[in-house]
Amino acid sequence: MLLHGDYARLLPALEPMKIDQFVLEYATPRAGDIDVVGRKLADRELGLGVVNPRTDTVEPVEMIVAKAEKALDYYRPEQLFLNTDCGFGCFAGRSVNVEDVACQKLCAIVAAAKDLRRKYC
């Protein structure tokens, strides 16, 4: 069974950590709203998961930008990093996704980052 629910229950453990950056999964709805983390952890950097490496669907650049802009309600542009959820690693000797789809997803992240830099930097 996959984990579900937002990060609220983890905040008591995350808040006292003396680290500079949290890398969190937000590409799927099960992670909840960025507001939960943004209200409590905006003094750190955020690696924001914006694409799901487990699906064949390539996330639209506009959707990635919208997720990042929601995070920018709490984080300064220099605190925000766009990531995949979990990465494109291997499970049980097989890749999570095919190379072409992974490349397209990474290209969508790059295009979104360029768009965000034009708007906010």
Amino acid 86: pLDDT: 82
Separation of alpha carbons 42 and 9, rounded Å: 17
Question: For the residues 69-76, what does the mean pLDDT come to?
Answer: 98
Amino acid 92: pLDDT: 56
pTM, 2 dp: 0.90
> What's the burial of 10, exposed, middle or buried (CB within 10 Å: 0-12/13-18/19+)?
middle
Going by pLDDT thresholds of 50, 70 and 90, the confidence category of residue 94 is low
**Chain segment 32-55, per-residue pLDDT in tens:** 999 999 999 999 999 999 999 889
Percent of the chain with pLDDT over 90: 74
Amino acid 1: pLDDT: 43
**Over the chain, what is the mean pLDDT?**
91
Going by pLDDT thresholds of 50, 70 and 90, the confidence category of residue 90 is low
The 8-class DSSP code of residue 89 comes to: -
